[in-house]
């Protein structure tokens, strides 16, 4: 892809950090400018400095993705940078930021269940705000997960699959009189990842020619920041040990693969929410293609993000 600018959310740790540095380390002629959108603080400043040390042009934009007002402000900052010529044309967006809330009673600043708010709604807001900023050819890559459905391995590990329902209901925190469980947390995460698939398919229908959408699954990555609330540092240490097992993914292995999907010619054919698992395109489950659900999610998103106008 013609080098331009790539925006990445959640660049401060794990997969996001490794993807950022993989992009920064590309040969000069292939290296994009980088817009790093993440929670303001030392971690954002540090990864920006590391990427600059590799030779990349980097702008870090502080934003708390649990607040839609921050997301809108970040999109405004991107538009100003592009309009002023301080960065090259926007040719890529990697929607990487995500979390898995332990307590599904927890609401975002805007009142939405936190896992759904960050994994899905924040990125829908950001992409919607930036839709006119992309310069074709451009790619939008959403980070997804196979947790949306359950296979034997995930069943053994008690990983809850998605239980789809009205997206307005999914966006609501768990009622205070209903106890939160690990299963609630897993379902909320898997629902958000199924929403990303539905959104990717529908989003492609609303974008101009030359702007394409794909979904990237980094593989099973134990020990990443997603496990912070489930046993804390001890669980993360165990997870990092598991990463040494052949076939288990890690941010260091999957980050360069995500960077490749965002910019390399090998993946130029991807569109319509094509699903890439690590380094191979894979089919999704039949129920993950559902035009009715996709349109319902699009309408619900317009309701949940009232400041966004797609006309």
Residue 52, pLDDT > 70, answer: yes
Residue 251, pLDDT > 60, answer: yes
pTM flag (> 0.85): yes
156 or 161: whose pLDDT is higher?
161
* Predicted local distance difference test score (pLDDT) of residue 238: 40
CATH H-level superfamily of 5-304: NAD(P)-binding Rossmann-like Domain (3.40.50.720)
Averaged pLDDT, 188-196: 98
26: left (phi over 0), alpha (psi -120 to 50) or beta: beta
Sequence-ordered list of residues with C-beta below 8 angstroms from that of 15, at least 6 positions apart, any chain = 96, 143, 218, 221, 224, 251, 254, 255, 258
* Predicted local distance difference test score (pLDDT) of residue 93: 98
Cβ distance 63 to 71 under 8 Å?
yes
Q: How far apart are CA 267 and CA 213, in angstroms?
A: 11
* Predicted local distance difference test score (pLDDT) of residue 153: 78
* Predicted local distance difference test score (pLDDT) of residue 234: 43
* Predicted local distance difference test score (pLDDT) of residue 2: 75
113 or 232: whose pLDDT is higher?
113
pLDDT band at 236 (very low <50, low <70, confident <90, very high): very low
Sequence-ordered list of residues with C-beta below 8 angstroms from that of 22, at least 6 positions apart, any chain = 255, 256, 258, 259, 260
C-alpha distances out from residue 236 to 91, 225, 241, 242, 271, Å: 34, 8, 9, 10, 35
Residue 89, pLDDT > 50, answer: yes
Averaged pLDDT, 161-171: 97
pLDDT tens track for 108-155? 999 999 999 999 999 999 999 999 999 999 999 999 999 999 887 778
pLDDT band at 246 (very low <50, low <70, confident <90, very high): low
Which of 138, 131, 146 is closest to 267 using CA atoms? Answer: 138
* Predicted local distance difference test score (pLDDT) of residue 310: 80
Please count the residues of the chain. Answer: 311
Examine residue 137 and say whether the peptide bond preceding it is cis (omega within 30 degrees of 0): yes
* Predicted local distance difference test score (pLDDT) of residue 1: 65
Q: How far apart are CA 275 and CA 142, in angstroms?
A: 10
- The 8-class DSSP code of residue 107 comes to B
pLDDT band at 222 (very low <50, low <70, confident <90, very high): confident
* Predicted local distance difference test score (pLDDT) of residue 182: 94
Count of Cβ atoms closer than 10 Å to residue 285 Cβ: 15
User: What torsion, rounded to 10 degrees, do the Cα atoms 64, 52, 3, 120 define?
Assistant: -20
Mean pLDDT score of the chain: 92
């Amino acid at each position: 892809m013609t080098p331009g600018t790539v925006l990445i959310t959640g660049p401060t740790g794990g997969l996001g950090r490794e993807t950022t540095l993989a992009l920064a380390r590309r040969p000069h002629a292939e290296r994009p400018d980088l817009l790093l959108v993440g929670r303001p603080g030392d971690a954002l400043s540090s990864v920006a400095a590391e990427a600059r040390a590799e030779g990349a042009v980097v702008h870090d934009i502080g934003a708390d993705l649990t607040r839609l007002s921050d997301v809108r402000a970040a999109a405004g900052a991107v538009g100003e940078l592009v309009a002023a010529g301080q960065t090259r044309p926007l040719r890529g967006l990697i929607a990487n930021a995500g979390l898995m809330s332990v307590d599904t009673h927890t609401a975002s600043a805007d009142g939405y269940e936190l896992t759904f708010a960050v994994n899905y709604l924040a990125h829908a807001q950001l992409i919607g705000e930036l839709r006119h900023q992309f310069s074709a050819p451009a790619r939008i890559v959403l980070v997804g997960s196979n947790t949306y459905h359950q296979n034997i391995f995930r069943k053994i590990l008690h990983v809850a699959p998605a239980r789809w329902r009205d997206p307005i209901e999914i966006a609501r925190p768990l009622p205070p009189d209903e106890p939160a469980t690990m299963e609630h947390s897993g379902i909320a995460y898997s629902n958000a990842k199924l929403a990303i698939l539905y959104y990717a398919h529908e989003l492609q229908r609303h974008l101009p020619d030359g702007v394409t959408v794909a979904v990237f699954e980094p593989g099973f990555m134990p020990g990443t920041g997603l496990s912070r609330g489930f046993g804390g540092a001890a669980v993360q240490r165990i997870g990092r040990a598991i990463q040494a097992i052949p076939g288990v993914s890690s941010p260091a292995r999957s980050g360069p693969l995500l960077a490749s999907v965002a910019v390399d010619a090998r993946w130029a054919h991807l569109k319509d929410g094509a699903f890439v698992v690590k380094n191979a395109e894979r089919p999704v489950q039949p129920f993950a293609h559902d035009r009715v659900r996709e349109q319902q999610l699009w309408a619900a998103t317009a309701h949940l993000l009232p400041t966004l106008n797609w006309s």
